[in-house]
Amino acid sequence: MKNSKQSYITGAIIISAGGFISKALGAVYRIPLTNVLGGEGMGIYQMVYPLYCILLTVSASGIPTGIARLISSGKAGAEKTAFGIYGAVGLIGTLAMFALSSPLAALQGEPSVALCCRMLSPAVFFVSVLSVVRGYFQGRGNMIPTAVTEVGEQLIKVAAGVALSYAFRNNLPLAVASTLFAVTVSEAISAAAAYFYYLKNRTRPPLFREISVPASSILRYTVPLTLTAAALPLSQLAESVVAVRLLRGIADNATALYGIYSGCAITIINLPVSVTYGLAASSVPQISPLAESGNFKKAKKTAYKALLITLAVSAPAAVALYALAPLAASVIFGSLSEAERGTLVVLVRILAVSAVTESLVQTSSACITALGRPALGTATQWISCILRVSLTALFIRLTPLGISGAAWAANIAFALATLINICYIIGVGVRKDENNAHRFRQCLRGSDAEG
What residue ranges do the domains of the chain occupy?
8-201+213-450
pLDDT(346) > 90: yes
CA pseudo-torsion sign 194, 199, 205, 211: positive
Which of 67-71, 93-97, 291-295, 303-307 shows the lowest per-residue confidence on average (mean pLDDT)?
67-71
Categorize the per-residue pLDDT at 409 as very low, low, confident or very high, splitting at 50, 70 and 90.
very high
Residue-wise pLDDT tens digits, 349-365: 999 999 999 999 988 88
- For residue 79, what pLDDT band results from cuts at 50, 70 and 90? confident
Which pLDDT belongs to residue 45?
83
Res 447: pLDDT: 46
* Size of the chain, expressed as the number of residues it contains: 451
Report which DSSP code applies to 373. -
Instruction: Give pLDDT, residue 110.
Output: 81
Largest CA distance in the chain: 93
Task: Give the whole-number percent of the chain exceeding pLDDT 90.
Answer: 22
Q: What is the pLDDT of residue 73?
A: 63
Nearest one of 410, 437, 289, 276 to 352, comparing CA atoms: 410
Residues 305 and 309: their CA atoms lie apart, in Å, by 6
Q: Tell me what pLDDT residue 1 has.
A: 39
Amino acid 440: pLDDT: 38
| pLDDT of res. 436 | 44
- Contact (CB, 8 A) for 395 and 408: yes
CA distances from 327 to 258, 261, 346, 436 (A): 21, 17, 12, 57
Q: Check whether 209 has a pLDDT greater than 70.
A: no
Percent pLDDT > 70 in the chain is 81
Question: Quick check: 208 pLDDT over 50?
Answer: no
Any residues with CB less than 8 A from the CB of 233 and at least 6 apart, and which? Answer: 49, 50, 51, 52, 53, 54, 56, 57
Pairwise pLDDT comparison (347 vs 434), residue with the higher score? 347
Between 67-81, 205-219, 322-336, the lowest mean confidence (pLDDT) is in 205-219
Decide if pLDDT at 371 tops 50: yes
Among 370, 91, 375, 427, CA closest to 220:
375
Digit-coded pLDDT (tens) for 418-448: 999 998 888 865 545 444 444 434 444 554 5
At residue 441, the pLDDT reads 46
Q: Higher pLDDT residue, 410 or 371? A: 410
- Please state the rounded mean pLDDT for residues 125-149: 84
Say whether pTM exceeds 0.85.
no
- The torsion of the CA quartet 203, 198, 131, 137, rounded to 10 degrees, works out to 40
* Long-range contacts at 219-224 (CB < 8 A, ≥ 24 apart): 219/85, 221/62, 221/65, 221/66, 221/69, 221/70, 221/369, 221/374, 222/62, 222/63, 222/66, 222/67, 222/82, 222/86, 223/62, 224/62, 224/369, 224/374, 224/375, 224/377, 224/378
- The predicted pLDDT at position 8 comes to 59
pLDDT tens-place string over residues 98-118: 998 888 888 877 888 889 999
Query: What mean pLDDT value characterizes the chain?
Result: 80
The arithmetic mean of pLDDT across residues 182-194, rounded, is 92
Taking residues 258-284, what's their average pLDDT? 79
Question: Which pLDDT band holds residue 3 (cuts at 50, 70, 90)?
Answer: very low
For residue 204, the model assigns a pLDDT of: 53
Per-residue confidence band for 140, with pLDDT thresholds at 50, 70 and 90: confident
User: According to the model, what pLDDT value does residue 125 have?
Assistant: 92
Question: Helices marked H in 248-373 — which ranges?
Answer: 254-258, 266-292, 296-332, 338-370
pLDDT value at position 212?
Answer: 62
Give the three-class secondary structure for 238: helix
